[in-house]
Amino acid sequence: MSMDGALARVIRSAGDLAAERAEACDLCAAPVADEHPHLYDTGQDEVRCVCGPCSVLFAGDGAGDGHFRLVPRRRIRLPHLDTAPLGVPVGLVFFVPRADGTVTAQGPSPAGAMRWEVDAAAWQRMTALCPQLASVEPEVEALLVNTVHGLDHHWIVPIDDCFRMVAVVRREWRGLSGGGRVWPALERFFADLTERP
């Protein structure tokens, strides 16, 4: 075996590995750019990557009423909200209104997201105090809150941002209390959020 042949195989296998790791559209398998649209799979409660052409199938009035819903891109920073009346005992949480009028709260943990049912009347009272919450699109947008360690973040975000935040916690958590990496990583995550119309 020549050195040139071995080197070519290593380069080729590294290229194959990179190609395997590249993200692809979950509908048509076409490659997707680093910044790409997402669909929310209502049946699996998961976010799916999608290419631009496939995302067009789920955009516009009347689209996305079935199994997949296009995840919007808007982010709105909100003023401080007292979320204690919603009955969730943690300071890092996201609230997702559902199409049936219910609201779930989810908080990240090393094992994934923990869930609570939120009293619908309490949510309605919260939307009366902050009318922007009434515009949260069911299933695909959320109220994201971080009041841990004295922070005061309240955002309306796309659901994929919430899933990214859960992934940060799972990736960085160490030991029983989270260790020294998870909290700085979460601070960076929130510092990087920018408003988008």
Task: Read off the pLDDT of residues 108-120 as tens digits, 9 standing for 90 and up.
Answer: 888 767 899 999 9
Domain extents for the chain? 20-70, 76-192
Confidence (pLDDT) at 61: 60
Which is higher by pLDDT, 89 or 154? 154
Task: Read off the pLDDT of residues 177-194 as tens digits, 9 standing for 90 and up.
Answer: 888 999 999 999 999 999
Confidence (pLDDT) at 113: 76
Complete DSSP assignment for the chain: --HHHHHHHHHHHHHHHHHHHS-B-TTT--B--SS--EEEETTTTEEEE--HHHHHTT-STTTT-SSEEEPP--BEE------GGGT---SEEEEEE-TTS-EEEEEEETTEEEEEEEPHHHHHHHHHHSGGGGGPPTTTEEEEEE-GGG--EEEEEEHHHHHHHHHHHHHH-BTTTBTTTHHHHHHHHHHH---B-
- Mean residue pLDDT of the chain comes to 87
What is the model's pTM? Answer: 0.84
